[in-house]
Amino acid sequence: MLLKLERSNRILFLVVLAVALSFLSVFIYVLWSISFDSEDEIPTIVDDGLMIKTRNANSTTDSIILKTISKETTTPSLRTTTEMNYESHRNYHLFNHKTCGLTESIVPRIFGGKVARFLSHPWMVVLYAKINSTYKFACGGTLISENLVLTAAHCIKPRKTAWEIRKIRLGEQNLETDLDCIKLNNGSDYCADPYQEITEFEFKNWTHQNYSTYFGIEYDIGLIKLKVKAKIHQNNINTICLPFPPTKEVNSNSKLEVIGFGKTENKNSSDQLLVAKVPFISIKECNTIYKTDQFMDTHICAGNGTDTDSCRGDSGGPLLELRKVINKLKVVQYGIVSAGMEDCGKRPGIYTNVQKYLDWILENADI
């Protein structure tokens, strides 16, 4: 009887061991399926996850998995940042609050967009990467002070490390022409000042400290420090305003626009700066559309699936609005182009919410 009991226990042990090994193998497979064996591999979608793309010009390799949620799962409460007195910060004076957001042509990517009015966005910055000894357009950015460019972290630290930002241009209207001009009604040419090209800058460790190159929709913000001051006295170069108080947060009444040189509906990058209107989408609705719970108040969603959207190549560029700031109409940047579906214009674009990172920008402005 004792012998039979020992034999039964031995069989039971083997069965339990087999089941445990089976679960372990499944667990290892799942971990392997969401890992990246090389920088060029595209991550596998698991657990009905949804793959979205970062929107630099090389984003075929920069994919992010959004974990979907079941119908029973509730969206977690939104995160908020600590309120602070920005005006008392040691670096607040570094931003030109009086003349930021002003342009010679203020006007009330891009996918489904129109050519931006001449000189209407003098804060637009073009980032070039050096790939195999050739400079190629990679991302956008915005000039926020005389020597600071705001962009997406994944533009500075892309998953694919075969390229890095090596050249920056300010004051560009058309990437194909050395001197940008328009024809006036009287037949004469009106030209922008020459663009400013800068090759000396710093961005080592100038991405948010919590940014991850593999899961890059969080903390997707970075700064590039120019070693040469921007020529903001030119007619084609100026700083954009950041949404410091008393500027209100974006909402359903906001008239948002996104600008960039990125991919158009013709699947080609644009040589001319484009602008598109994109409606504000609440975070709750955005999570519902994407069937996820990963978007927080550190993001802004914009675009309603009507073929007007930011797209590949627009990464790092601004989501902006013309707002009255202290009784003067100015252009204010609320978001940074971050990610979205590869099939641009079908779901809302994902933007980094600049208002939630004002303290981080201030802290790093003088480093």
Write out the catalytic residue numbers. 154, 220, 315
328/311 Cα distance (integer angstroms): 31
Specify the 3-state DSSP secondary structure of 278. coil
Task: Calculate the CA 344 to chain-centre distance.
Answer: 14
Q: Which residues pair with 337 in a beta bridge?
A: 351
**Tokens standing for residue 232:** 């903001």
Contacts of 107 (CB under 8 A, 6+ apart): 116, 117, 120, 275, 322
Longest dimension (CA), the chain: 111
**Residue entry with tokens 């991850």:** 212
Q: Quick check: 315 and 258 in contact, CB under 8 A? A: no
251/366 Cα distance (integer angstroms): 31
Q: What's the DSSP call for residue 147?
A: T
